[in-house]
Amino acid sequence: MKRDRTIAAFKGMIVGGTMLVPGVSGGSMAMILGIYKRLTDAVSRFSQNKKENFFFLLVFCLGGGIGMLLFAKPLSGLIERYPMPMLYFFTGAVAGGVPLICRQAKIKSFSWKIPGYILIGVVSVLLFSVIFQSDVFAGTQMQSARESQSFLFLLPAGFVAAIALVLPGISVSYLFLMMGLYEELMHALTELSFSFLLPLGAGLLLGILFITKLLTRILEKYPQPSYLVILGFVIASMAQVFPGIPEGMQIPVCLLMLFLGYFAIRMLSGKEQSAGLA
């Protein structure tokens, strides 16, 4: 039990530290670390085992909070200074989780439905990104909304962000960036501005509770299609993170970072599988 909670805290740190990097999905990171289903079950079935679920979510969230405070800014700084190698590392990390998701989908034989479900996931993420890049969510309009009705704006913004937080492949930080909230969120986390964080967090919590319960039911009723759609989400997130083709001396560095990211996640997911916790 103690070991399980230590692993949950450690994985929470990884998820928390990476989820504030634009383009990196916290849901994808939880999925490829093999802790995603445990999280959704703990939220959607909280009342069935309150004590165990409470402590599991507590240590995961504490780990996530520590990860945000310790790693989010250094990671963002590394991406600003070494953008292509770091994004190749994240691309490799996301790719490293694909075999785990395929195992969850339990594909026994080929069917044309398989690429169809994956395509649904890819298209969904792309459409989601297009919607939040539209004029409806332009930065100037979001700024005026925040100035006039900050609470009434931040609460639904948190609810919408929960979709990106729960669904793998959709970057919550990228969504905050599209809504014009990313810089203010980073500032609020640094300064502990509760007038900003509390309404946003309340909306986020409500969204997580609603969406997680719905997602859990779908995963139970349609496991293979659900995981294949999630695989599409993850593939689309790789496309969003991919920084392009390196040149010159960056080629060996980027390839090294790609393999490091891939094998780091494969090692973590392999340990999870051998421990019987995935």
The residue ranges of every structural domain in the chain are 2-274
Q: pLDDT of 38-80, one tens digit each? A: 888 888 787 788 888 888 888 888 888 888 778 767 877 787 7
Tell me how far apart the alpha carbons of residues 122 and 173 are, in angstroms, rounded to a whole number. 19
pLDDT digits (tens, 9 = 90+) for 214-273: 877 887 888 888 888 888 877 877 776 677 888 888 899 999 999 988 887 777 655 555
Question: Which is more confident, 206 or 21?
Answer: 206
pTM beyond 0.85, yes or no: no
Q: Give 69-117 as a DSSP string.
A: IIIIHHHHHHHHHSHHHHHHHHHHHHHHTHHHHHHHHT--S--THHHHH
